[in-house]
Amino acid sequence: MRYVLFLIASIAWAQSALPPTYGVQTRFNSGQDIVPSFDGWYRNADGTYTMVFGYLNRNYQEEPIVAVGVDNKVEPGAVDQGQPTFFLPRRHAWVYFAKVPADFGNKELIWSITVHGRTEKAFGSLLSEEEILPRLVQSRGNLSPGLDNPNKPPTISIQPVTAAMVETSVPLSVNVTDDGLPRPRVPKARTETAAGTAQTNSATARRLPLNVTWQQYRGPAKAVLEPREPVIVNAGKASASVRFTQAGTYILRATANDGELQTTGDVTIVVK
């Protein structure tokens, strides 16, 4: 029950973090700040804990890049604790995973982000009511049809990128294995309405087959990923490409999704 309550609270947070509205929601394409969020914690087999953070980029189009430092820091400890520096528009939950020791106790892990002159913070702690299951993250908040579901998340292995140059297309290759669950859904027959509009009798659409999606996690400039849509896994592999407009160190994240559960993996690329 507390996992459901925590999920409801997370949704309520996302709504409350939006700018005040007076009748009609104001839509900002740029110029707004980023609000980090603490999305819960879970236990690790070795006795440590993983704290999970997300964020709300209030902009609908702007994708701020906030380098690690005074404007993007995690405390206590080293300023750089693996947090993202590239922020996609709007709300993104369960993005940043910070491991804390078994004796972390009642301390807090604080993530601060400053954008457009405004600083926002998220406070992570091991409060019992904020404990979540890793499966909640793997299912993107959808635990149904239950914890007894035999489906296992995919496993993912990213081929390392040994050389990358500015303005040169770089291939990305991922190996994915899966247990074949869930079974593909077969959509029911389509019928014509009185107005001649086609509709599907099934309440749910066809589930997308095992696929991989790429996103940027870090980097000094925006990376151009192709395609941006999910790539269907074929014979255990999924391929894409990326082009960089500026030299530096980038981290790209691949997400393998079987239609119910997902697994992420990161690859670091040094661009010369």
Read off φ and ψ for residue 54, nearest 5 degrees: -135, -160
Q: 47-91 pLDDT, tens per residue?
A: 999 999 999 999 999 999 999 999 999 999 999 999 999 999 999
Task: Say what percent of the chain tops pLDDT 90.
Answer: 77
* CA 187/CA 208 separation, integer angstroms: 12
Q: Where does the pLDDT of residue 189 fall: very low under 50, low under 70, confident under 90, or very high at 90 and above?
A: very low
Angle at 133 between CA 128 and CA 137, to 5 degrees: 125
**Average pLDDT score, the chain:** 88
Query: Please, what are the domains in the chain?
Result: 2-138 (no CATH), 155-184+199-271 (2.60.40.2410)
Q: Between residues 241 and 4, which one has the greater pLDDT?
A: 241
**pLDDT tops 60 at residue 172:** yes
The model scores a pTM over 0.85: no
* CA 172/CA 151 separation, integer angstroms: 27
Stretch among 6-20, 108-122, 159-173, 257-271 having the lowest mean pLDDT: 6-20
Q: 200-247 pLDDT, tens per residue?
A: 444 344 578 999 999 999 999 999 999 999 999 999 999 999 999 999
